Amino acid sequence: MASALSDCSSRATARLLPFQRSVQSRVSQFQRSVSIAWNPLGMNAIRSAASPHWSSSAVAPVAMTTETSAKVIDGKSVAKQIKDEIAGEILRMKDGTGIVPGLAVILVGSRKDSQTYVRNKKKACEAVGIKSYEANLPEDSTEEDVLKHIARFNDDPSVHGILVQLPLPRHMNEEKILNAVSIEKDVDGFHPLNIGRLAMQGRDPLFVPCTPKGCMELLHRYGVEIKGKRAVVIGRSNIVGMPAALLLQDAESPRGYRLVGDVCYEEVCTVASAITPVPGGVGPMTIAMLLSNTLSSAKRIHNFK
Ligand SMILES: Nc1nc(=O)c2c([nH]1)NC[C@@H]1CN(c3ccc(C(=O)N[C@@H](CCC(=O)O)C(=O)O)cc3)C=[N+]21
């Protein structure tokens, strides 16, 4: 048995061969979103495996002509549940302290996809009671312009999370800009210090990157045990693949690297016990985790338990 998280930023595009009986998942980023597939029980067990952890309302079978088909992990419904929990916590915090969490998003340029993501994040913030702040800078801004906005948000006590929408225009040094975000407000978890801490035993990062965190949360909420399983992560981008691998290792999985390839959803459905769809899988979870990180940040900064 094996599982895989694949990151479509990698060049690997091989299709899963059904006879391998291995589990594949796909974690893509940016324009595409993410799938997780998991086969903890093996193919024969799939149809009879009615684990008590699987909430029937959150699980739907995929229409397939083949004999077996994976449970579809409903990221959208889990994300909604999490957002409801967050909204409750924000009310409690507001009642207790008068403070509401604030998220600042910096968008440079006018990429349509980035504008859509930013709009969706803003809507999600409003829905749970997070105040959102926005800085929209023109494509030809300088690094210094962006750094100035980061510094302003770093110093603004009503802002608890800062997100610099990626990708940045080519003329900018991404590392330099992400480095400037205060580590206490780095709700994306992209600051080198947060990523470094994720890799170190016994030094918890202040924030875990939202997409891999969302994948782990889906596995957790669906009762999928990670300990002792073999996991394959495809792609090692700083924001999805690499932190995903670190989080899975944390769960005491054996270590090792091997390139497997991208996933073919239709084929994987026949061998995996569970898979996340696109849309409605990891994408909505990414946003829910961003809200969760922003809430945790506000709680930490104001010492609200
Ligand atoms: N600093 C930064 N942090 C990010 O977290 C970040 C980023 N930059 N740049 C872009 C990527 C992409 N990303 C997505 C979030 C939600 C969906 C999402 O909710 N997708 C929906 C589909 C939406 C649609 O209808 O197209 C779904 O999968 O169901 C997708 C992609 C966050 N990103």
Is 137 in contact with 107 (CB distance < 8 Å)? yes
Pick the closest to residue 51 from 24, 33, 68, 71 (CA basis). Answer: 71
**How much is the ipTM here?**
0.96
CA of 283 to the centre of ligand 1 (A): 5
Whether the predicted pLDDT of 92 surpasses 50:
yes
Catalytic pick among 71, 76, 83, 121? 121
Pocket test for ligand 1, best of 265, 286, 293 (most atoms within 8 A of CB): 286
Determine the Cα–Cα distance for residues 237 and 7; give it in Å rounded to an integer.
7
Q: Which of 80, 107, 117 to mutate to test the pocket of ligand 1 (most atoms within 8 A of CB)?
A: 117
In the set 7, 165, 185, 262, the catalytic residue is 165
Cβ(30) – ligand 1 distance below 6 Å = yes
Percent of the chain with pLDDT strictly greater than 90: 62
Cα–Cα distance between 240 and 132 in angstroms, integer?
A: 24
What pLDDT shows up at residue 36? 56
Going by C-alpha positions, the residue among 36, 44, 43, 50 that lies closest to residue 7 is 36
Active-site annotation holder among 7, 74, 186, 188: 188
188 lines ligand 1 (CB under 6 A): yes
Based on the fold, state whether residues 153 and 169 are members of the same structural domain. Answer: yes
Cα 292 to middle of ligand 1, angstroms: 15
Closest ligand 1 atom to Cα of 163: 1
Q: Report the distance separating Cα 79 and Cα 144, nearest Å.
A: 36
Please provide residue 52's backbone torsions phi and psi, each rounded to the nearest 5 degrees. -65, -20
User: Are residues 59 and 124 both part of a single domain?
Assistant: no
Distance 95 CA to ligand 1 centre (A): 31
The domain tally of the chain equals 2
Q: What is the CATH number of the domain that holds 143?
A: 3.40.50.10860
Q: Are residues 70 and 153 in the same domain?
A: no
Residue 210 Cα to ligand 1 middle (Å): 10
Q: What is the pLDDT of residues 18-67, one digit of tens each?
A: 222 233 333 333 333 345 555 443 333 222 233 334 433 344 454 544 45
pLDDT confidence bin for 12, thresholds 50/70/90: very low
- Nearest-atom number in ligand 1 for the CA of 280 is 29
Pocket lining: 284 vs ligand 1, CB cutoff 6 Å: yes
293 with 268, same domain: the answer is: no
Is 35 close to ligand 1, i.e. is its CB under 6 Å away? no
199 and 297 inside one domain: yes
- Crossing angle for the helix pair 112-128 and 75-97, nearest 10 degrees? 50
Do 184 and 87 share a domain, yes or no?
yes
Instruction: Specify the pLDDT at position 3.
Output: 41
| 164 in contact with ligand 1, CB cutoff 6 A | yes
84 and 185: one domain?
yes
Q: What is the pLDDT of residues 109-137, one digit of tens each?
A: 999 999 999 999 999 999 999 999 999 99
Look up 165 and say whether it is catalytic: yes
Ligand 1 mean position, distance from CA 188 (Å): 12
CB of 167 closer than 6 A to ligand 1? no
- Catalytic residue status for 185: no
Indicate whether 182 and 36 sit together in one domain: no
Q: Residue 237's pLDDT band (boundaries 50, 70, 90)?
A: confident
Do 202 and 135 sit in the same domain of this protein? yes
Residue 166 in contact with ligand 1 by CB distance below 6 A = yes
Q: Do residues 239 and 160 both lie within one domain?
A: no
Phi, psi of 252 (to 5 degrees): 65, 35
Let me know whether 168 and 266 are in one domain. no
Q: What's the N-to-C CA distance of the chain in angstroms?
A: 40
Distance from residue 67's CA to the centre of ligand 1 (Å): 33
Tell me, yes or no, whether 47 and 175 share the same domain: no
CATH number reported for the structural domain that contains residue 16 in this entry: 3.40.50
For residue 240, what are the domain limits?
Answer: 3-75+212-279
For the question of whether the overall pTM of this predicted structure is more than 0.95, the answer is: no
